[in-house]
Structures are given as structure tokens and as C-alpha cells.
């Protein structure tokens, strides 16, 4: 059915002029589910709502005037045609990105196609592994091979590489004091040579048993704040007037949702359903440590933070982008530096908030340990629990997240909390 369009370039300019004096987000419809969303900060985004397999999704077509009205309508027609074939445009875009990555790897391997060099075989191994990895982890692995292994071993026939070749390459990493990197590269070399041996590219694994001769990296510690000091931290965050607003909002959102740092930093607006009666953040499996889709019910407090964040980051792309480069996610050190500046250097890590939340939720005796573990997205090794549907008991998890947000609010009111054996307790 042909869409009856409503907008003109003139009517858009008139609407924008009118919206300049508004503090609310304004949407002007062009018909067929497409509209121009005008943010209070002046940003203007093309959006289209449509349904696929009974579920509403929102597509992004770019920013006006970089994307003109005519261009947006062309994108609308293309998307309608794709949806009409029962295909989710968002999933199609992700598939295209995956194919582009594969094409890049094929291109890089063309010179090696006639000989089983280490680079060629490692690319074969890499392509098979990426199906089970997050995009970030895949990038980390590829970069570690490019910078630390390929210069020495990349062009050598994999069958000719000796134990001494591997040791020599790893010693260079260790000599720079990068013990953690050395440890991870050695693990990846061992996996690649295991694959090569299975595929008959080489005999034996020259990287086996080398962990004994290299310095073992110090285990990472996730310092967590004593529960009794949590109210003071919250007040310091609330009263901070030096940091960027987006940094403060990100820290508050981290505490309310207790997700992993990477899950927050790479959060995309497309993952959020904010207009539902029960707002939800659905983190796709490819971004989760345990490779399972994760549901985060959003309390009213978390929702308010996201609405406020839209004034700073707009409503597309990364929810918490870099201040100077919105196309990149917030740096992994931003929240840590913020915490350090507040006086908690060496005393609290960002991961430590997960420990604090787990402790308080368990000690409250209000919530099932299974529900808490589900919300923390922890791996369950017990066979029965592993079969437990992580989307189940979503209502109970929503109640728990509401309780948690209200509890955090209560810590700002000294009369509402008491201490027992230096442990924080909430009255009532």
C-alpha cells in the first residue's frame, strides 16, 4: 500500500523552529510509521516504527539534514520491502557486518591461500571461533595475533614452527612487562596449534607446557566497597558538579542495574524498550559474557536516568558514548577514574558494585538466590540450573530491581537505614 506522506522540507523547518523553545522530545509524522524525532538538545533523528513477527521494532535512518526527507523515504521503502518479506532489518544489518568481517579475513588470507602459513591457519581457526564470541572479544583476539604473533610467526609454514620459535615470540611480550597479555597469547597459540594438529596442518603442539616457564600474571581483584560506606559514595556522586553529566548518569545507572562494565559501555538505544508499561533492556547474546540474551527490568529510577541521558547522547547509537567522539563507546576507564577522583582508588572497582548488590540482595532474604543469580547473569554449572530459562521469573526479577532502586534511594536518607555488625540494613 502506497504511503501518503505528510511532511515537506518547509514543514520540517517550521516544526524545528517551533521545537527550539520546547524542553520535550517532539515527533512529527510523515506517515507509514516514519517520523522525525526532535530532541531538546537540537538533534533530529529519522525513525520508523514497524512490526515484525508480532513484535514492534524501531528503525533508525540517520540524522536530519544529513539524511534528507527524500533519502529517509527511500530508506523507509527499502525497510518496508524487507519487513514485507518477514526479515528483521536490524538483524539483516548485523548479518551484513558479520559478512564484511569475513570478507576482510578472506582478503587478508589471499596471499597465503597456497601455503599453510601460521596466519592462514589462525584465520581458519578464528572464523570458527567467532560464532561463540562477542564482537569485542573477537577484535581483542585478532589484534593480539596481529601485534604480538604475526610479526614473528605469521609467514612461517605452521608445520615448521618449533617450540623455540614460540618461546622467542612470547619472551618479547614478557620482556615488556605485559604478563597478562603473554598469558592470553600463549593460550591462543595453544588453541590454534591444537586446531592445526586436528586439521593435519602440523604434527604436535609446540606451545604445550610453556606456562611453566613464564611469569604467572597476578589475579585480578574486584575490590568492593564496604556496605556501610555505600551511602557516603552515593551522596558524593549526587553532589558532584565537576564530572561530565553523562559520566555521573552512567555511574548511577551502573549501580541501579549492576551489569558488567562492558555491557553498560556498549549499550545501544536499539536494545531498550522504554515506552512499554514494563520497560526492559534486552542485551543480545553476542554482547554477554555467557553468550545468552540477558533481560534487565528497568525501574522508574533507571528509566529516568535513560530519559535524561537522551538529552546528552540523543536517541540512537551508544547510550553512553564518549563525550568528544559520540560514535565511540565510553572508555572502560571513565567510571573507574570517576570513582578514584571521589576518593575510592584501590578500594572499589566498577565490578565491585555487582558484589555489593549480590550481598545486599541475598542478605535481605527477600529474593530467591536463583533470581539473584539470573539477574547477575552468572554461569550455572549445575545441569538442572543450566536448563533453567533465564527469561523465566521476569516478574519477580522486576520486583527485585524495583526494590533495589528504592533501597538505593533510601540510603540517601539516614533515618531509613541501620547498621548491624557494620552491615547495612534497611528498616522495614
Contact 134, 177 (CB under 8 A): no
Inform me whether the pLDDT recorded for 300 exceeds 80.
yes
Burial class (CB in 10 A: 0-12, 13-18, 19+), 378: middle
Conformation bin of residue 3: beta by default, left when phi > 0, alpha when psi is -120 to 50: beta
Q: Which whole-number Å values give the CA distances from 169 to 173, 250, 262, 284, in the listed order?
A: 7, 40, 30, 37
Residue among 388, 399, 425, 426 flagged as catalytic: 388
- What would the mean pLDDT of 342-357 be, rounded to a whole number? 72
Residue among 119, 260, 294, 398 flagged as catalytic: 260
How does pLDDT run across 111-130, given as a tens digit for each residue? 544 478 999 999 999 988 88
Residue among 94, 163, 351, 426 flagged as catalytic: 351
Backbone angles phi, psi at 56, to 5 degrees: -80, 135
pLDDT of residue 383: 39
Percent of the chain with pLDDT over 70: 86
**Architecture of the domain delimited by 227-426:** Orthogonal Bundle (1.10)
- Catalytic residue list contains 289: yes
Contact 243, 420 (CB under 8 A): no
pLDDT of residue 149: 93
- Catalytic residue list contains 354: yes
How does pLDDT run across 15-52, given as a tens digit for each residue? 888 877 777 888 888 888 889 888 887 888 899 888 88
Domain ranges of the chain: 9-87, 93-213, 227-426
pLDDT of residue 32: 84
How far is the C-alpha of 428 from the C-alpha of 129, rounded, in Å? Answer: 50
Question: Mean pLDDT across the chain, nearest whole number?
Answer: 81
Backbone angles phi, psi at 322, to 5 degrees: -65, 145
pLDDT of residue 302: 92
Neighbours of 156 (CB within 10 A): 15
List, in order, residues 6 or more apart from 183 with CB less than 8 Å away: 211, 214, 216, 217
Q: Which whole-number Å values give the CA distances from 196 to 124, 125, 141, 148, 207, in the listed order?
A: 9, 8, 17, 19, 12
- What would the mean pLDDT of 361-378 be, rounded to a whole number? 86
Q: Please give the grid coordinates belonging to residue 228.
A: 556501610
Contact 36, 26 (CB under 8 A): no
Domain 93-213 matches domain 227-426 at the CATH topology level: no
pLDDT of residue 398: 92
The Cα angle at residue 95 between residues 94 and 100, in degrees rounded to 5: 100
Backbone angles phi, psi at 375, to 5 degrees: -70, -30
Percent of the chain with pLDDT over 90: 21
Q: Please give the grid coordinates belonging to residue 229.
A: 560506606
pLDDT-derived band of residue 349, with 50, 70 and 90 as boundaries?
A: low
- Catalytic residue list contains 378: yes
Q: Please give the grid coordinates belonging to residue 53.
A: 513477527
* Sign of the CA dihedral running 233, 237, 240, 244: positive
How far is the C-alpha of 236 from the C-alpha of 242, rounded, in Å? Answer: 11
pLDDT of residue 107: 66
Inform me whether the pLDDT recorded for 197 exceeds 50.
yes
Domain 93-213 has CATH 2.30.110.10: no
Q: Which whole-number Å values give the CA distances from 216 to 8, 179, 305, in the listed order?
A: 65, 7, 42
Inform me whether the pLDDT recorded for 154 exceeds 70.
yes
- Catalytic residue list contains 98: no
**Architecture of the domain delimited by 9-87:** 2-Layer Sandwich (3.30)
- Higher-pLDDT residue of 228 and 189 is 189
Of 57-71, 186-200, 209-223, the least confident: 209-223
Residue among 5, 136, 156, 289 flagged as catalytic: 289
Residue among 354, 390, 397, 398 flagged as catalytic: 354
Amino acid at each position: 500500500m502506497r504511503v501518503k506522506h505528510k511532511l515537506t522540507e518547509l514543514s520540517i523547518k517550521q516544526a524545528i523552529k517551533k521545537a527550539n523553545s520546547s524542553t520535550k522530545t517532539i515527533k512529527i509524522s510523515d506517515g507509514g510509521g516514519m517520523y522525525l524525532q526532535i530532541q531538546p538538545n537540537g538533534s533530529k533523528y529519522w525513525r520508523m516504527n514497524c512490526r515484525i513477527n508480532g513484535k514492534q521494532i524501531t528503525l533508525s535512518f540517520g540524522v536530519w539534514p544529513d539524511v534528507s526527507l527524500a533519502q529517509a523515504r527511500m530508506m523507509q521503502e527499502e525497510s518496508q520491502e524487507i519487513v514485507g518479506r518477514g526479515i528483521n532489518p536490524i538483524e539483516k544489518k548485523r548479518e551484513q557486518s558479520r559478512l564484511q568481517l569475513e570478507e576482510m579475513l578472506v582478503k587478508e588470507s589471499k596471499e597465503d591461500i597456497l601455503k599453510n602459513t601460521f596466519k592462514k591457519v589462525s584465520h581458519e581457526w578464528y572464523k570458527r571461533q567467532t560464532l561463540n564470541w562477542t564482537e569485542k572479544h573477537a577484535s581483542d583476539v585478532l589484534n593480539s595475533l596481529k601485534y604480538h604473533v604475526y610479526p614473528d610467526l605469521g609467514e612461517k609454514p605452521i608445520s615448521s614452527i618449533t617450540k623455540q620459535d614460540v618461546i622467542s615470540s612470547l619472551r618479547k611480550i614478557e620482556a615488556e612487562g605485559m604478563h597478562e597479555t603473554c598469558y592470553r597469547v600463549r593460550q591462543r597459540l595453544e588453541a590454534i596449534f591444537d586446531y592445526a594438529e586436528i586439521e593435519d596442518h602440523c604434527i604436535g603442539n609446540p606451545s604445550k607446557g610453556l606456562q611453566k616457564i613464564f611469569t604467572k600474571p597476578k589475579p585480578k581483584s574486584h575490590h568492593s566497597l564496604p556496605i556501610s560506606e555505600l551511602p557516603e559514595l552515593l551522596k558524593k556522586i549526587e553532589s558532584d558538579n565537576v564530572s561530565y553529566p553523562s559520566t555521573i548518569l552512567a555511574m548511577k545507572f551502573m549501580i541501579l542495574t549492576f551489569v558488567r562494565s562492558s555491557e553498560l559501555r556498549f549499550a545501544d538505544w536499539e536494545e531498550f524498550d522504554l515506552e512499554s508499561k514494563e520497560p526492559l533492556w534486552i542485551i543480545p547474546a553476542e554482547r554477554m559474557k555467557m553468550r545468552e540474551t540477558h533481560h534487565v527490568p528497568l525501574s522508574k529510577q533507571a528509566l529516568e536516568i535513560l530519559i535524561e541521558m537522551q538529552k546528552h547522547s540523543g536517541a540512537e547509537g551508544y547510550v553512553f558514548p564518549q563525550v568528544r567522539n559520540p560514535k565511540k563507546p565510553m572508555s572502560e576507564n571513565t567510571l573507574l577514574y570517576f570513582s578514584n577522583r571521589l576518593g575510592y582508588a584501590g578500594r572499589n572497582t566498577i565490578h565491585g558494585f555487582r558484589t555489593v548488590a549480590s550481598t545486599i540482595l541475598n542478605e535481605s532474604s527477600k529474593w530467591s538466590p536463583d533470581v539473584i543469580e539470573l539477574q547477575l547473569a552468572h554461569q550455572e554449572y549445575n545441569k538442572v540450573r543450566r536448563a533453567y530459562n533465564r527469561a523465566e521469573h521476569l516478574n519477580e526479577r522486576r520486583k527485585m530491581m524495583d526494590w533495589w532502586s528504592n533501597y538505593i534511594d533510601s540510603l540517601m536518607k539516614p533515618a531509613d537505614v541501620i547498621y548491624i555488625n557494620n552491615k547495612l540494613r534497611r528498616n522495614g
